Amino acid sequence: MPKNEPLVVQRAKQAGHGTQQVSSGENGAQSFRISGRRVYTRQFDRLYYKRLNELKPLVAEQARRRWGGSKIQWTPKVLNVEGPGLTYIVGTVFIDSDAKPSTLDEVERTHWIADPIVAADEEGDGSYRAHESAVVHLEDESGRIRLVGKEMAKATLASGVVAAVLGAETPSGEFDVAELCFAGMPDAQPPLPQTPSGGNAEYVAFVSGLNATIDQPVTLEMQLLAEYILGSLGSEDTQRACAQIVQVVVAGDLMELPVPPLGHTEDPKANDRRASAKLVAQVDDFLADIAASVPLLVMPGRGDPADVSMPQQPINRGMFGQSRQFSGFVSTTNPACLAVNGVSLLGTSGQNIDDLRHYAVNGESACQLAAESLRWRHIAPTAPDTLWCYPFTDRDPFILEHSPHVYFVGNQDAADSAWAAAEASGARTRVLTVPVFKSSHKIVLLNLSTLDCTVVHVGRK
């Protein structure tokens, strides 16, 4: 764009989105849409079998490369392990712990309104694995065997992870683990597009946890955020830098609607939804100001008016009467897969990583757990055990099909970033966590050329 053009004209040109190439996973490689009629009466065993059958060959091949050269034999079924000889087995990890949430307890306590997030051990440290009752098993279609040993005490694991374990059977019938192996990141990754020499860097702005409420629908910090993105805040250099933002992603927890009354009530005030409707309209106006100038993608989060189970389906576009008028506005799923100018991005609103933190025993950060899930080749292994999800029968959508250039996670305690790499091809993925904006007043800018991250504080210090 010519430097002598007013910034408002530059942003108006971007509103047409003629030079940007943005696509969501609905038209891309990996989609989290649930098509057709949704049926919630199915059992989850088919989802587990689908996951094991798809990942087991990949994990077994990785194990063969790592351990096969030393003449160590693979025992195809976990219940066929016999004697003290060194061998390796492949199966799905299951962690049994009294600290894990009990759906029946939640139903009884909340009168059939179950909260999938609250753990049964509310007074403890929240760690399922650190609880004294925790037992780790490896299971396949033949049965399960208990995993023990010093390696298990330090391994980063969670229920639902498909893994290979090297070790030997103990006299008591347990499996003493010496080493673990996972599927690893997929080698397939589209090439990262190159920025033309002398071209301006382009950025994606990530924000999460706006958490607009009836009492505080659009805070001062949210207004400043809109002004920053639109290029009307800060110095001239800052404004010109903001003009290079080509995509804004709201990674969940857009608003906090009040909880409706339990059961039927004759109280007209309890059934009054006008305050909620006003909140939705005010948030829509806030988003429309941004969508009029730059492509905007909105993902649902834990508190948003969308499905509770993963993958969350898009917030109904009918709630965005103003924003939906702009071609660059997209209400999409959680998780979401999109591409911006040739850079592939995969992201979630954070529930999957929040649940993984209950299994951490070594103080792993959210960013470390997100990177580890890429090596597991599964971004939500604890679903459906402790993370609610739809009962798929034909696929497991959370299995990675390719390595994205960027994997982002919203609604975390702090902004952080790291690299994760595929062992064979060396394909690298930038992993980044986006902090809750309402408490941090921070957003994350991603340079599409270098994949470097910049944290920007918007608001009062």
pLDDT band at 127 (very low <50, low <70, confident <90, very high): confident
Mean pLDDT of the chain, nearest integer: 86
Paired strand residues for 416: 433
Paired strand residues for 417: 432
What pLDDT is stored for residue 71 in this prediction?
78
Beta-carbon count within 10 A of 113 CB: 12
User: Token digits for 216?
Assistant: 């505080």
Q: pLDDT tens-digit profile of 203-248?
A: 999 999 999 999 999 999 999 999 999 998 878 888 888 999 999 9
Beta-carbon count within 10 A of 32 CB: 23
C-alpha to C-alpha distance for 220 and 110, rounded to whole angstroms: 36
Backbone angles phi, psi at 68, to 5 degrees: -65, -30
Question: Residue 401: is its pLDDT beyond 50?
Answer: yes
CB-CB contact of 373 with 404 (8 Å): no
Among 80-84, 325-329, 436-440, the minimum mean pLDDT is found in 80-84
Return the half-sphere exposure (C-beta side, CA atoms, 13 A cut-off) of residue 51: 31
What pLDDT is stored for residue 19 in this prediction?
41
Q: What percent of the chain has pLDDT over 90?
A: 66
Q: Which of 383, 433, 418, 425 lies closest to 403, judged by CA?
A: 425
Question: Residue 125: is its pLDDT beyond 90?
Answer: no
Q: pLDDT tens-digit profile of 240-269?
A: 889 999 999 999 999 998 776 665 556 666
Task: Tell me the mean pLDDT in the region 400-427.
Answer: 94
User: Token digits for 356?
Assistant: 């993984």
Question: Residue 333: is its pLDDT beyond 90?
Answer: yes
Beta-carbon count within 10 A of 174 CB: 18
Q: Which residue has the higher pLDDT, 26 or 450?
A: 450
Rounded to 10 deg, the angle between the 274-291 and 220-230 helix axes is 20
Beta-carbon count within 10 A of 6 CB: 9
Three-state DSSP at 442 gives: strand
Q: What percent of the chain has pLDDT over 70?
A: 83
Q: Which of 203, 202, 205 lies closest to 225, judged by CA?
A: 205
DSSP secondary structure string, 292-356? Answer: TTS-EEEE--TTSSS-SSBSBPPPPGGG-TTGGGSTTEEE--BSEEEEETTEEEEEE-SHHHHHH
C-alpha to C-alpha distance for 377 and 55, rounded to whole angstroms: 8
Question: Residue 30: is its pLDDT beyond 80?
Answer: no
Q: Which of 329, 374, 331, 366 lies closest to 350, judged by CA?
A: 366
What pLDDT is stored for residue 428 in this prediction?
94
Whole-structure pTM value: 0.89
Task: Tell me the mean pLDDT in the region 288-308.
Answer: 95
Task: Please state whether beta strands 336-340 and 22-24 pair in parallel, antiparallel, or not at all (unpaired).
Answer: antiparallel
What pLDDT is stored for residue 13 in this prediction?
42
Task: Tell me the mean pLDDT in the region 40-64.
Answer: 93
Task: Tell me the mean pLDDT in the region 113-129.
Answer: 53
User: Token digits for 219?
Assistant: 């805070």
Question: Residue 403: is its pLDDT beyond 60?
Answer: yes
Among 180-194, 268-282, 335-349, the minimum mean pLDDT is found in 268-282
Q: What is the dihedral of CA 136, 140, 145, 149, to 10 degrees?
A: -50
